[in-house]
Chains A and B, each alone.
Chain A
Amino acid sequence: MTETFLGLPATAPPGVGHLRGDEPFPVAARRALADPQLRRNLRHATGTIRAKSSAVISEVPDWPELRAAGRAIKSDTMARLPELLEQLEAAVTAAGGTVHWATDAVEANRIVTDLVRATGADRVMKVKSMATQEIGLNEALEAAGIEPVETDLAELIVQLGRDRPSHILVPAIHRNRAEIREVFLREMPGVDPALTDEPAALAAAARRHLRATFLSTKVAVSGANFAVAETGTLAVVESEGNGRMCLTLPETLITVMGIEKVIPTWDDLGVFLQLLPRASTGERMNPYTSMWTGVTPGDGPQQVHLVLLDNGRSAVLADEVGRQVLHCIRCSACLNVCPVYERTGGHAYGSVYPGPIGAVLSPQLTGVADNASLPYASSLCGACFDACPVMIDIPSVLVHLRARHVAERRAAHRMPSAEAVAMAAAAYTMDHPRLYAAAQRAAGLGRIAGRALPPPLNGWTASRDMPAAPPQTFRQWWSERRRDDRP
């Protein structure tokens, strides 16, 4: 049977995983903004990471060149992604690993669940991974009677608290230590009731809880930060050592990786391992960098699987402007500098990918209609672009996705939206200077005083006065002045 490809690549399917929120951003943000503890926790945490990161970045004289190199490697990768993925598959297979291809979240969850079932295990331990959060793997495993145990401290806090991650790097950034202590006392089996909220005491409690899991669990699931096509090497970077435990102790290791994580050569790793820790945790060097290439007989996991996940990524690649979002190395620098994220937190974005990068990634993975409010969840201040270690022009992609949203809405509805009518009318008026001048005068004459504008502009006057219309516009003043100047 032959297949003919028609149309664009598929987006991530609905009903599975965590890429879509239940409500639009402004609604969710409104609730978050009213939470003073959340505001305080985020201001403190993002402020601390910002200061740390900018200090260690300022030490690197060739930071701009490193960023440019990171971008160049990723652009090259995206330009020949199919070829590199096949090279990766061949290298992993040659090293004794098994490669699986997953079109979407449903397929990836099925592949992983079947692999775990085949081992007979009813529990897996997990290294913190955005890809498995994206596809809702934990829920899929639980539905199959398999218990997933998160071993990253912050991810464990989120899991025990039946909470959702709110940051790419620090999933429990919205919690302070007093709240974490409460979660541990309530949910952690065998916890010391005298537990204090000292960070060292909290970490020790988690350590005791996790140690038994590390030593007794036969299957681990991880993501991957990088996969080197030429060698078949996978890399995970982390700060707690839990990843090292999961990647070395079990018999079976299953890695779920977005297809954009591949890089061409071993040397390319050198660029990203310099960029990532400084941009992300504000560290000079990453504490634990684990790399493995297939199976090493007698050492480490003897069953090694790699699940290559698309789930909408090919659709992102098809968008000439939007594809640069696939360059993302999940450092979360853009979240830490974003004034919107700092005030609303990650949950308001609905998706596991919050902040500026989430606002450009989630709508592309799902199709813009399913995350239509996210491209507007930015003042376009540009702090994210400056912070991005691989120079993703997030503001330009946001604007591009707004245009895509408007175009799709136009195509879907016979009646243009009120906004579209207003925008077209404004453009027409502004393209006719006489009409424009008349409209300016009308604005001056009919000025409603500063307290209450009608919807949808009442969002402005809810908290801000409108300026009074001046007695004359600039162009009126200019033409009078020229007339007066005449002899």
Chain B
Amino acid sequence: MRIALFVTCLADTLFPEAARATVRLLERLGHQVAFPEEQTCCGQMHVNTGYPDDALRLVRRHVRAFAPYDVVVAPSGSCVGSVRHQHAMVARRAGDERLAGRAEEVARHTYELSELLVDVLGVTDVGAYYPHRVTYHPTCHSLRMLRVGDRPLRLLREVRGLDLVELPQAEQCCGFGGTFAVKNADTSTAMLADKMRHVLATRADVCTAGDASCLMHIGGGLSRLRAGVRTVHLAEILASTEAGRSGDPTGRTTEGVAR
């Protein structure tokens, strides 16, 4: 199958390993990945911060970039949520019904990674090997906007060597929320503190999720505490094999933190 990668601006810029892992994983499963280079950002930050008018040009660009493809995948529940639940709204606000219709069409073919694997490609055992103790944080937009349910867990349970431990109060928000983390930094930090407490209680080595944004938040907190727990995107775990990340000498995970 030919699958277009919607990389997301965050993964493109700060967490390219999550996107590279998505490419490696899909190619290993026998699919062809395309990367429409005119894509940039879905505009979610603009919409959620109160700037839907500024987001309009980004929605238009996104629709133009992905309209030609039958299947689009993103390593992010949040950005897929924006495409599904915000793009048409942004277009309609601006009175562009035609764009809204096209945005809805693109949204119908856009999947979060675990949705694509389980629902479209019909696979839960992707042949991955990851010998670590891992806990999974279901990000709010994956959980409540997309309803990915247990798809990520079904994928993780099939990973050889992986010791999956349940995260207490997993469904509670980590406190990221985009600009919320800056505008309400104290409340965001209080939410993060509880999330980190639960992650540490699992005694996992790795905390994984389907969104680089939430992992940046949780990982940024764990790193500040020198807690010794890494955050790794779900795609990176699923892309890992016994052979390691061969062919990817620049391999760098979402755990990487500035010193």
Complex Cα–Cα for A38 and B176 (A): 23
In the complex, per-residue mask of B84-108: 1 if CB is within 8 Å of any chain A CB, else 0: 0110010000000000000000000
B27-83 interface with A by 8 A CB criterion: 35, 37-38, 40-41, 43, 45-52, 54-55, 57-58, 61
Closest A residue to B181 using CB positions: A460
- Given A26-B187, A343-B190, A420-B51, are A426 and B46 also a contact pair (CB < 8 Å)? yes
For B186, give the chain A residue with the smallest CB separation.
A30
Binds B, one of A86-94, A162-170, A259-267, A379-387: A379-387
Contact of B187 among A340, A380, A471 (CB under 8 A): A340
Indicate if the CB atoms of B46 and A440 lie closer than 8 Å. no
Q: Is A5 an interface residue (CB 8 A)?
A: no
Q: How far is the CA of A475 from the CA of B171 in the complex (A)?
A: 33
Query: Is the CB–CB distance between A386 and B144 below 8 Å?
Result: yes
Q: Which residue of A lies closest to B175 (CB)?
A: A379
Asked if A475 and B191 make an inter-chain contact with CB atoms under 8 angstroms apart, the answer reads: no
Q: Which of A148-156, A206-214, A292-300, A428-436 sits within the interface? A: A428-436
Q: Interface digits, B211-245 against A, CB 8 Å rule (1 contact, 0 not)?
A: 00000110111011000000000000000000000
- Flag whether B141 is at the interface (Cβ < 8 A): yes
Asked if A469 lies at the interface with its beta carbon under 8 angstroms from chain B, I say yes
Q: Please indicate the chain B residues that have their CB under 8 angstroms from the CB of A475 in the complex.
A: 7, 12, 35, 37
Instruction: Tell me if A474 and B188 are in contact (CB < 8 A).
Output: no
Interface stretch, picked from B109-117, B127-135, B251-259, is B251-259
How close is B197's CB to chain A, nearest CB, in angstroms? 12
Are the CB atoms of A477 and B187 closer together than 8 Å?
no
**Cα distance, A470 to B16, chains bound together (Å):** 7
Q: Decide: B224 and A406 in contact? CB cutoff 8 A.
A: no
Which of A420, A426, A428, A436 has the most C-beta atoms of chain B within 10 angstroms of its own C-beta? A426
Closest to B250 in A: A471
- A431 and B57 form a contact (CB under 8 A): yes
| Complexed CA–CA distance, A380 and B82 (Å) | 12
Is A72 interfacial (CB-CB < 8 Å)? Answer: no
Pick the contact of A464: B20, B58, B220 (CB < 8 A). B220
Q: Assuming A465-B220, A470-B17, A475-B37, is B54 touching A450 (CB within 8 A)?
A: no
Q: Is B19 part of the binding interface, using a Cβ–Cβ cutoff of 8 Å? A: yes
Q: CB-CB < 8 A to B123: which residues of A? A: none
Contacts A26-B187, A340-B191, A383-B173 given; does A467 touch B250 at CB 8 Å: no
Q: Are A405 and B182 in contact (CB under 8 A)?
A: no
Q: Mark B7-19, 1 if CB is under 8 A from A, else 0.
A: 1010111111101
Q: How far is the CA of A92 from the CA of B104 in the complex (A)?
A: 48
Q: Determine whether the beta carbon of B51 is less than 8 Å from that of A403.
A: yes
Which residues does chain A contribute within 8 Å of B192, judged by CB atoms? Answer: 463-464
Given A344-B187, A381-B144, A399-B48, A473 and B256 contact (CB-CB distance below 8 Å): no
- In the complex, the answer to whether A465 meets B41 with C-beta atoms within 8 Å is no
Closest to A384 in B: B144
Bitwise interface map of B from 129 to 159 toward A, beta carbon under 8 Å scored 1, else 0: 0000000000011011100000000000000
Contact B13 A473 (CB under 8 A): yes
Residues 414-436 of chain A: 1 if any B CB is under 8 Å from the residue's CB, otherwise 0? 00000110011011101101001
A402 within 8 A of B: yes
Cβ-defined partner of A474 (8 Å) among B11, B58, B182: B11
B48 and A468 within 8 A (CB):
no
User: Contact between A477 and B43 (Cβ–Cβ < 8 Å)?
Assistant: no
A26 & B40 in contact (Cβ 8 Å cutoff): no
- In the docked arrangement, what's the CA distance between A29 and B186, Å? 8
**A487 at interface by CB-CB < 8 Å:** no
User: Is A37's beta carbon under 8 Å from chain B?
Assistant: no
Write the nearest CB–CB distance from A269 to chain B, whole angstroms. 30
- Contact indicator A431/B61 (Cβ below 8 Å): yes
Q: For A377, A386, A463, A467, which residue has the most chain B Cβ atoms within 10 angstroms?
A: A467
Given the known inter-chain contacts A30-B186, A433-B37, A467-B257, please indicate yes or no for A343 contacting B191, CB distance below 8 A. Answer: yes
User: Interface residues of B: mostly helix, strand, loop or mixed?
Assistant: helix
A464 pairs with B224, CB closer than 8 A? yes
Q: Is the CB of A376 within 8 A of B14?
A: no
Closest residue of A by beta carbon distance from B78: A380
- Bound complex: CA of A431 vs CA of B182, how far in Å? 24
Taking the closest CB of chain B, its distance from the CB of A367, in whole angstroms, is 16
For window 296-350 of A, CB contacts with B under 8 Å fall at: 339-340, 343-344
A431-B52 contact, Cβ under 8 Å, with A470-B256, A471-B250: no
Binary contact track A448-462/B, C-beta < 8 Å → 1, others 0: 011100001101101
Assembled-state Cα–Cα distance A456/B181 (Å) = 11
Q: Hey, which chain B residues are within 8 Å of A386, CB to CB?
A: 144
User: How far, in Å, is B90 (CB) from chain A's closest CB?
Assistant: 10
Chain A residues lying within 8 Å of B41, measured Cβ to Cβ, are 430, 436
* A403–B14 CB distance below 8 A: no
Given the interface contacts A379-B180, A449-B259, A470-B256, does A29 sit within 8 Å of B187 by beta carbon? Answer: yes
Kindly supply a per-residue 1/0 record for chain A positions 253-279, scoring 1 wherever the CB is within 8 Å of any chain B CB and 0 otherwise. Answer: 000000000000000000000000000
* Contact assessment for A456 and B190 in the assembled complex, using a CB-CB cutoff below 8 Å: no
Name 21 A/B residue pairs within 8 A (Cβ), A-sorted.
A25-B184, A33-B190, A339-B172, A339-B175, A375-B50, A376-B184, A378-B180, A402-B48, A403-B51, A406-B51, A464-B224, A466-B257, A467-B219, A467-B258, A469-B13, A470-B15, A472-B250, A474-B7, A474-B19, A477-B250, A478-B35
Q: Which A-B residue pairs are the 10 nearest by beta carbons?
A: A379-B177, A459-B185, A464-B220, A402-B50, A450-B258, A381-B173, A406-B50, A474-B16, A382-B144, A468-B258
A residues in contact (CB < 8 Å) with B:
25-26, 29-30, 33, 39, 339-340, 343-344, 375-383, 385-386, 396, 399, 402-406, 419-420, 423-424, 426-428, 430-431, 433, 436, 440, 443, 447, 449-451, 456-457, 459-460, 462-475, 477-479
- Further contacts, 13 of them, CB under 8 A, given A383-B172, A466-B258, A473-B16: A399-B50, A427-B54, A427-B58, A430-B41, A430-B58, A443-B13, A449-B258, A465-B223, A465-B258, A466-B220, A468-B258, A477-B250, A478-B37
